[in-house]
Structure 1
């Protein structure tokens, strides 16, 4: 089994020790190894850059408030490395969450960090690495959602469709819906290879389309998208149908 290489950056020695203890606690479920640690951003950047390719960190656990170069600046500087680590912020301050997600952080853990939350965050690291390799520069890999005082991360790869409703956009995954404070038009522009517009208020993920149904509900009826893994049907506007059909020319259609 692949061993996850972890780097820790926190100016407080007890916090670094706690993260090491938590990593040891979850090692049976997720093999990992600490390849280095630093008490400030400058040292962290230098040490991470100096690691040989075979020992490059897969993930960096970064505190926000550190003397000199803070965690946010460190994260932005790490993006310039040939093989930047996946970012997980570990902090006592929640006001930096939005900025952290803009920096492509996989997760934002509030101190005191719990083993279960750390394990959940680290389990997503290989997926983030694969996504970065397969689609460099292809937009964010996850979107953020504020819910009951928490910031939730929604992997873009899990989203089946995006639908504008009032001032929010609903992101639908196979499990549930999330409300995003984002513009549908901006999301369409950011992810042109992943989503296709089927209606003025709806984008559907290309990989989520299983087929199309023609519904006879009037003189001409209308076409709907059949989704993989969901019974829900998404109506295609007449204006968009020709373009949508051309995008999915190899997918079957059906009458209903």
Structure 2
């Protein structure tokens, strides 16, 4: 007589993210095939990272199975945003990357599934996911050092996505970085130095505590402040009344970058 199936594991709630419907359907079928040894419950499916985050706002999950290359928001960026949740789920990537990229995943201790996904390999990955911590943000940046399309902000227990293209400047204030758009300010729990390194083509340092969006610059002007009335340069941004001071140290680089 065969041994009974091991039902010691509680079912994991799973979110499947892939821009191709057949790939999502295949993963659902495979999860059904391995349900005896690795029970799961599909909480939802999404076609990209933005859709996935919208689902997570309504229903937290234990595990995300996500493709890497997707329109709107790719899998690596999704994992970076998910990592900011109070209780982040484990993340397993599905990928058609070549062997070189796969070695990068192995070195970073992030699990992956090569397409086409096989049932046995999926079962192994889910077993590993039960004891995995979500990949660290720094690890994800090393795997795919491409820039993000969105910043993520934690507000009232949810993740708010802020398009990078909407941010006019980034200013360090105490423990946080203030990201300013035309509409409002957002608090980012990130380092200004790391943001400068990640977005060198978009943001320009004008002061030790401030980066500006290059394409938001309306011009530069001379201004005077303080009791001595000392003159200094300021940046004028499209749509904002405030003037951002340029430090003496940064002015030569700012002048060259802006062509003024």
Match of 1:51 in 2: none
* TM-score, scaled relative to structure 2: 0.52
Q: Structure 2 vs 1, CA of residues 199 and 146 (structure 1 numbering), >3 Å: closer, same or farther? A: same
Tell me how far apart the structure 2 counterparts of residues 235 and 160 of structure 1 sit (CA, whole Å).
Answer: 14
- Aligned ranges 1:169-188 → 2 under 5 Å: 169-188=177-196
Contact 2:48 2:73 in 1 (8 A): yes
Determine whether 1:221 maps to 2:231: yes
Determine whether 1:212 maps to 2:235: no
Contact 1:58 1:86 in 2 (8 A): no
The 3-state SS of whatever aligns with 1:242 is helix
Q: Structure 2 vs 1, CA of residues 86 and 151 (structure 1 numbering), >3 Å: closer, same or farther? A: closer
Q: Structure 2 vs 1, CA of residues 182 and 232 (structure 1 numbering), >3 Å: closer, same or farther? A: same
Q: Structure 2 vs 1, CA of residues 58 and 241 (structure 1 numbering), >3 Å: closer, same or farther? A: same
Match of 1:153 in 2: 161
Tell me how far apart the structure 2 counterparts of residues 201 and 156 of structure 1 sit (CA, whole Å).
Answer: 18
Determine whether 1:241 maps to 2:251: yes
Cα offset, 1:39, TM superposition: 7.6
Tell me how far apart the structure 1 counterparts of residues 191 and 90 of structure 2 sit (CA, whole Å).
Answer: 16
Q: Structure 2 vs 1, CA of residues 94 and 219 (structure 1 numbering), >3 Å: closer, same or farther? A: closer
Tell me how far apart the structure 2 counterparts of residues 144 and 192 of structure 1 sit (CA, whole Å).
Answer: 19
If you compute each CA radius of gyration, which structure gives the higher value, 1 or 2? 2
- Aligned ranges 1:113-132 → 2 under 5 Å: none
Number of residue pairs aligned between Structure 1 and Structure 2: 165
Alignment RMSD, CA only? 4.0
The 3-state SS of whatever aligns with 1:38 is helix
Contact 2:73 2:149 in 1 (8 A): no
Match of 2:208 in 1: 200
* CA offset digits 1:92-142 (Å, max 9, x no partner): x96227979xxxxxxxxxxxxxxxxxxxxxxxxxxxxxxxxxxx9541111
| Unaligned 5+ runs, structure 1 | 1-10, 17-33, 45-56, 101-135, 252-256
Tell me how far apart the structure 1 counterparts of residues 166 and 187 of structure 2 sit (CA, whole Å).
Answer: 15
The 3-state SS of whatever aligns with 2:250 is helix
The 3-state SS of whatever aligns with 1:95 is coil
Cα offset, 1:232, TM superposition: 1.2
Cα offset, 1:213, TM superposition: 0.8
Match of 1:38 in 2: 25
Which of residues 164, 167, 185 is equivalent to 2:172? Answer: 164
Match of 1:50 in 2: none
Cα offset, 1:143, TM superposition: 1.2
Cα offset, 1:154, TM superposition: 1.1
